[in-house]
Amino acid sequence: MSTPLPADTDDARYLALKARDARFDGRFFTGVTSTGIYCRPVCSVRTPRRENCRFFDLAAQAEHAGFRPCLRCRPELAPQALAWSVQDAGAILVRQALRLLDAPPAGSPLEGGAQVAQLAARLGVSDRHLRRLFDAALGISPLQYLQTRRLLVAKQLLTDTRLPVTQVALASGFASVRRFNAAFVQHYGLNPTQLRHAGPADAGRSRPVRLGYRPPYDAAALLAFFAARQIPAVEAADTRVLRRTARLSSGNAEHAGWLEATFEAARSRVALTVSDSMLPVLPQVIGRVRAMLDLDADPAAIATVLHGDFPEGDGLRVPGCFDGFELAVRAVLGQQVTVAAARTLVQRLVERFGTPIETPWPGLNRTFPAAAALATAEGSALGQLGIVRQRQAAIVALARAVDGGQLALHAHADVQATTAALCQLPGIGAWTAQYIAMRALRWPDAFPSGDVALHKALGVQGARQAARAAAERAQGWRPWRSYAVVRAWATL
């Protein structure tokens, strides 16, 4: 049983709820008035009566209305809703704010009010204006949304790890255990220890974390993309599993370890296992893995624009990355060479500048070089690896900009400012900047119009101005041109 997309009315949402349709996971939540619980559309409990259902676009709205999260379907596992608009300025600003608030906490936690003020300043509006937009669009405040996100992150850490409650509080963004305990009791009616007792009895610290996604999802195509570009010692991908080493900075601390992501297609989810060394920053790891595997994409919204031109590509996702600097270096080394040649150069770079690490898999034994390591690299050392001078200069300039804090390469960076800054670096042009925007900045509307393979796929390789012809052809694919690029590549 399936209901047509999209489910814009409560009756249509109820049909999706009855069908437990995973395509709607994260697109709405159902509050059940007879129990006071809110659930995902895929929840396995008996479907409630229609008159007992209230529907919400966001988990924060359900919690603001007084509902508690279901302990069975666990709303914190749902993919995020990443709708994009290119018309309503207020809606665009609210959506940008939600994306930034969804960013896992890093470094020292900020009090909620301070973080919202920082968010408003970053968006170039006042606190009051941001609150007004949230109230008009969502019926909740930015602080209420942020509090729900933090509590759901904490709920996942309590359920899926054995981290001490103190670490859970800090990792989920609370400034103190006291504030964390008070918020948990106020919202959920139980203390954090009680929730942990309600979870699985396994005492192991590295049990998998489940990450949901919306079907259709062509996991084989995504993993094949990673497998074709995998760097020995850093990553390994097969038809179902992606493993890699990882390094992540949080505040003044650096965490290095490994992760394993296994697709469970029958349940539309990924099982993520990480090393104990990465557990203190698990929320950030989850955020990066969700971006790397494009788990929050909404295939229905994308297909509305692209299905007519690419009818076979509805399950394709835009491959992301775990680390934006790593992706940028790999993009520079991939300029005007084959995938195999680029992989060879990156492998040499990892062997020379990477850091040794132990993992359960002997073949994965180094992390990708840090920006600080490449910022001071000698040209002769890079030249010995077979890297030409132009790309030597690009890599060093890129590393210095990232290491010095002038350039941020992640999903919450300002796309226009970042791509402009990239093009100011030696050896980096529009193609490289757009490719980085597509995979590292997670911009759904990136378009590397100068890509030769894209020209071939679109049939414009013989045009006098192929890049211009490709860009003109792509105008109708906004705001999903990144997905159009992936679908075009898949036709080759």
Q: Is the pLDDT of residue 7 over 80?
A: no
Q: Name the nearest CA neighbour of 277 among 261, 260, 259, 255.
A: 255
Q: Is the pLDDT of residue 453 over 90?
A: yes
- Top-confidence residue, 103 or 190: 190
**What is the structure's pLDDT at 74?**
94
Catalytic residue ranges: 39, 451
| pLDDT band at residue 467 under the 50/70/90 scheme | very high
Q: Kindly report, residue by residue over 132-149, the tens digit of the pLDDT.
A: 999 998 999 999 999 999
d(CA 269, CA 152): 18
**What is the structure's pLDDT at 105?**
56
| pLDDT band at residue 117 under the 50/70/90 scheme | confident
Q: Kindly report, residue by residue over 227-239, the tens digit of the pLDDT.
A: 999 999 999 999 9
d(CA 262, CA 257): 17
Number of H helices, E strands in the chain: 22, 11
Strands (E), 57-198: 68-69
* Average pLDDT score over residue span 149-165: 90
DSSP for 363-431, please give it: TB-EEPPPHHHHHT--HHHHHTTT--HHHHHHHHHHHHHHHTTS---STTS-HHHHHHHHHTSTT--HH
Q: Omega before 479 cis (within 30°)?
A: yes
Query: What pTM was estimated for this model as a whole?
Result: 0.90
**What is the structure's pLDDT at 205?**
46
**What is the structure's pLDDT at 101?**
83
Q: Are 297 and 80 in contact (CB under 8 A)?
A: no
In the predicted model, what is the mean pLDDT of the chain?
90
Q: Is the pLDDT of residue 41 over 90?
A: yes
d(CA 435, CA 446): 7
Q: Token pair 């992640």 is at which residue?
A: 410
**Residues whose CB falls within 8 Å of the CB of residue 347, separated by 6 or more in sequence, listed in order:** 231, 232, 233
Q: Is the pLDDT of residue 115 over 90?
A: no
**What is the structure's pLDDT at 190?**
85
| pLDDT band at residue 490 under the 50/70/90 scheme | very high
**What is the structure's pLDDT at 198?**
57
| pLDDT band at residue 249 under the 50/70/90 scheme | confident
Q: Kindly report, residue by residue over 273-318, the tens digit of the pLDDT.
A: 999 999 989 999 999 999 999 999 999 999 999 999 999 999 999 9
In this prediction, what percent of the chain has a pLDDT beyond 70? 93
Q: Kindly report, residue by residue over 63-87, the tens digit of the pLDDT.
A: 999 999 999 999 999 998 755 544 5
Q: Kindly report, residue by residue over 360-374, the tens digit of the pLDDT.
A: 999 999 999 999 999
Q: Which residues of 44-67 are buried (b: 16+ CB within 10 A; e: fewer)?
A: eeeebeeeebebbbbbbbbbbeeb
Q: Is the pLDDT of residue 34 over 60?
A: yes
Token code pair at residue 27: 């697109």
DSSP for 179-190, please give it: HHHHHHHHHHSS
| pLDDT band at residue 204 under the 50/70/90 scheme | very low
Q: Kindly report, residue by residue over 395-405, the tens digit of the pLDDT.
A: 999 999 999 99
Q: Are 271 and 310 in contact (CB under 8 A)?
A: no
* Average pLDDT score over residue span 3-18: 80
* Average pLDDT score over residue span 315-329: 98
**What is the structure's pLDDT at 1?**
42
